[in-house]
Structure 1
Amino acid sequence: MNEKKATQARSWLLLSLCFLVLIVSIYFVLQQRSAPGGTVRQYSETLTDVGFDTFVTYTETTDEESYQAHLALVQERFQYYNGLFDYYHTYDGVNNLKTINDSAGKKAVIVEEPLLECLLAARTFYTYSDHFDVTQGALLNVWHNYRDAGAEANAQGESGTLPSSDELEAAYNAKSWEAVEIDEENHSVYINDASVSIDLGGVAKGFAVQKLYEELTAQGVDNAILNAGGNVMLIGEKSDGTPWRVGVQTPSTSSLESGDVAILSLNGSHAVVTSGDYQRYYEVDGAIISHIVDPTTRWPSQLMRSVTVVCDDSTMADCISTTLFTMTYEEGLRYLQTLKENGIQAEAVWVFDDSCPSIPQSDTAIRSGAFTVLVSDGLTDAISS
């Protein structure tokens, strides 16, 4: 792809990701009071220069000096993690993900602790399900190229195209994790097969949110929301003592259709992450082709419109939402049980409509307009239409 097309594709992606702010809507009661350090009130600002092809909105109830310090931290750390996890670009003085991929079949690469930690988390979640496989970078890159070209065609009123099954099979490697050698003691990563590459798009943003959550809480933050393009972290409690109210957005590809299909009422700190087919996608003959690829089929999943995960850890929530989106509802329930047996408590909200292959039946299903909403047991009392 030439530079002009690449620039157009990046612009389209950033524009579409800006709509991700609608994935979840957070309702605050603004509190303002006097304090020795100055006026305490709710501050909020959206940053667009943090990388990850996304925006970050940081909202906190505090004094202005503290808020500005925390906002600066958010910006600096996201830019740092973007550099570490970048699949397409290298940076001076940084051994990042692209460095690892470029060195495949050649040499091991010494990496910083966060990159090593994120890779280990991704490997752990692969052991829970092969629907989540960050080592299928070659396969994901095929779809990335078709999506960029398709988005450009769609912008001109034309249909995108699909890769052939042969092209997808050639890019897929069933043993790609076996090619990734992680040396925790020496902080090195070596891909011993030059045809294998790693793409952390399904976990990197959630990882960055989790690390920032840990830094912010260590600094005493206890009433805030960090929203990285739909990867949301609720920090502490609302200042008025009521639950956080998180709206699960109507999954529509039209910017004119907004609103929520359901509301979650949550107390305390939680990661809330949504995966859906209506943000990063392109169209082929009117059909939506999303960016979330199921490595077990090699194709973007079309089983549901969205799935939202509520978990204590943003890294885990990101991995889980990506995985659940590629599973049927029944498979997803079994997957959540597997996670529970491994000490991971996560809950989910699934959204279906008549375009889905099937709509699961459940006594707890909520009908919201044209959509059917189902939840795992742990959210039954927390959800309302």
Structure 2
Amino acid sequence: MRLKNKKYSIMVLSILVSLIFAYKFLFADSSKNIKTNLPKSKSGFFLGTHVEISLYDNSSDEIFDECFNILKDVEDKMSINIDTSEVSNINKNAGKSPVKVSSQTFSVIKRGLYYSSLSKGHFDISIGSLVKLWEIGSENAKVPSKEEIEKSKSTINYKNILLDEKAQTVKLANKDMFIDLGGIAKGYAADVLANVLKSKKIESAIINLGGNVYALGSKPNGKTWNIGIQNPFEPRGKHLGILNINNKSIVTSGVYERFLEKNGKRYHHILSPFTGYPVENSLVSITIIADNSIDADGLSTTVFSLGLDAGRELVESLDGIDAIFVTNKKEVYTTSSLKNNFSLLNNDFKIIHK
């Protein structure tokens, strides 16, 4: 009996071991998919906004550390709120002498000048003095006097930003000029992060820099990302529609979050270099979809400032760029190639095919 029991025990043990190996073999792929469907996310605060990076591939904390170090480096170089930044140094030397900067800052300023020129000054990176004057979005926000606005307007002219490619220097030709890369630096940072993640073989990720979104690759299941487009008449997180995209950056500019109210009038943060006041047109938000986030970032302010007709004409003329326009009448316009990739969720809005 002992021998029989021993043989029986060995047989049972063998079956259990076989089942364990079979389970691992059969369900290895599915368990991996379950794991990658749940992102590993980390957040922080950089470039004046909340940042969240979500990785759907196997990843380590070192990748997040590297990404946050990159964001800190961009902030240290390009923020006007850091007294020792390269951009602050350029502003301190306005009308005096050229300032040598890093290749990163130089390339962002150069791209900013491209969009300043493309928009014919509607987007102008030398608008810093006006931004500082209004300070919309901060606790010091105020409506400046007409005299203050006129003085500030006289300092704005992107053509007076002088670049020396060989020496890699930037000079502001006139005293009191003040550049601000807030309308383009986040886009640059998102592109750098996306390239780092690609180099680490990350195939599915969402980079969110305060609403500046880069959807890397596709969903872990191979399907397109579903990106919600903010309803500009509702609190953040309420969407008017869904955009289906892969490997694209999505940037929205609108009048609904950063604003100042005084004497019953609302002043939003998108300022016109020509009037010195917030841009006034029928738009309440504009979403740009592009391969590169720096382009989506620069174009979002540009297109909003141009308005519906001129802005749409500009976007349609650019390769690889699409846009969603939302008006104060809750009308939604899209560029032609987006018609099959965007769908409304809210019946209060109406897509206008034009």
TM above 0.5, one fold?
A: yes
Band the TM-score falls in, shorter-chain normalisation? 0.7 to 0.9
User: Structure 1 residues 243-252 or 314-323, which shifts more?
Assistant: 243-252
User: Residue type of the partner of 1:347?
Assistant: D
Residues 262-291 of structure 1: per-residue CA shift (max 9 Å, x gap)? 11111x200000001111211123332111
Write the distance in 2 (CA, Å) between the matches of 1:353 and 1:41.
Answer: 38
The more displaced of 134-143 and 79-88 is 134-143
Q: Is 1:48 aligned to residue 44 of structure 2? A: yes
Match of 2:75 in 1: 82
Match of 1:97 in 2: 87
| Letter aligned with residue 352 of structure 1 | T
For 1:57, which of 52, 56, 63 is the aligned residue? 52
Matches for 1:245-284 after TM superposition, within 5 Å: 245-252=226-233, 254=235, 258-266=237-245, 268-284=246-262
Match of 1:289 in 2: 267
What are the within-5 Å matches in structure 2 for residues 317-356 of structure 1?
Answer: 317-338=296-317, 340=318, 344-354=319-329
Q: Tell me, which stretches of 5 or more residues in structure 2 are unaligned?
A: 1-28, 345-354
**Which residue of structure 1 aligns with residue 123 of structure 2?**
132
Gaps of 5+ in 1: 1-30, 151-160, 355-370
Where 1:278 maps in the other structure, the secondary structure is coil
Match 2:294 to one of 315, 318, 340: 315
Q: Is 1:276–1:306's contact at 8 Å kept on the other side of the alignment?
A: yes
What SS does the aligned partner of 1:121 have? helix
Distance change (3 Å), C-alpha of 1:336 and 1:127: same
Q: Is the 8 A contact 1:246 1:263 kept in 2?
A: yes
Structure 2 Cα separation of the partners of residues 330 and 250 of structure 1: 21
Report the number of matched residues. Answer: 314
Tell me the distance in 1 between the aligned counterparts of 2:131 and 2:286: 20
Q: CA deviation at 1:230?
A: 0.4
- TM-score, length-normalised on structure 1? 0.76
The answer for the alignment partner of 1:368 in structure 2 is none
The 8 Å contact of residues 115 and 302 in structure 2, kept in 1 or not, is answered as no
Question: How far apart, in 2, do the equivalents of 1:32 and 1:47 lie?
Answer: 28
Q: Distance in 2 between matches of 1:43 and 1:146?
A: 31
**Alpha-carbon spacing, 1:337–1:166, altered in 2? closer, same or farther (3 Å):** farther
Question: What is the CA RMSD across the aligned residues, in angstroms?
Answer: 2.3
Matches within 5 A, 1:1-385: 33-34=31-32, 40-49=36-45, 51-63=46-58, 66-91=59-84, 96-129=86-119, 130-144=121-135, 148-150=139-141, 162-173=143-154, 176-252=157-233, 254=235, 258-266=237-245, 268-303=246-281, 304-338=283-317, 340=318, 344-354=319-329, 371-385=330-344
Equivalent position amino acid for 2:273 in 1: P
2:302 partner letter: T
Equivalent residue letter for 1:320: L
- Largest Rg, 1 or 2: 2
What is the identity, as a one-letter code, of the residue corresponding to 1:259? K
User: Matches of 2:228 and 2:137 in 1, distance apart?
Assistant: 32
Give the 3 Å change call, closer, same or farther, for CA 198–175 of structure 1 in structure 2: closer
Q: Deviations over 1:40-82 (max 9, x none)?
A: 4532324223x2111111111122xx24222112211111101
CA distance in 1, matches of 2:138, 2:306: 22
CA contact (8 A) 2:137 2:269 kept: no
Letter of the structure 1 residue corresponding to residue 339 of structure 2:
T
Q: Deviations over 1:176-196 (max 9, x none)?
A: 323322111111111131121
CA distance in 2, matches of 1:175, 1:134: 8
What one-letter code is carried by the residue in structure 2 that aligns with 1:211?
Answer: V
Alignment-mate amino acid for residue 252 of structure 2: T
Q: 1:83 to 1:200 in 2, by over 3 A?
A: same
Residues 4-57 of structure 1: CA distance to partner in whole angstroms, max 9, x if unpaired? xxxxxxxxxxxxxxxxxxxxxxxxxxx96339xx964532324223x2111111
Residues 324 and 335, structure 2, Cα contact 8 Å, conserved in 1:
yes
Q: What is the CA deviation profile of residues 298-335 of structure 1, one whole-angstrom value per residue up to 9, with x for unaligned ones?
A: 21124221111100010000010111111221011122
The equivalent residue for 1:7 is none
Secondary structure (helix, strand or coil) at the match of 1:294 reads coil
- Asked if the contact 1:253/1:279 (under 8 Å) is kept, the reply is no
Aligned partners of 1:302 and 1:180: how far apart in 2?
A: 27
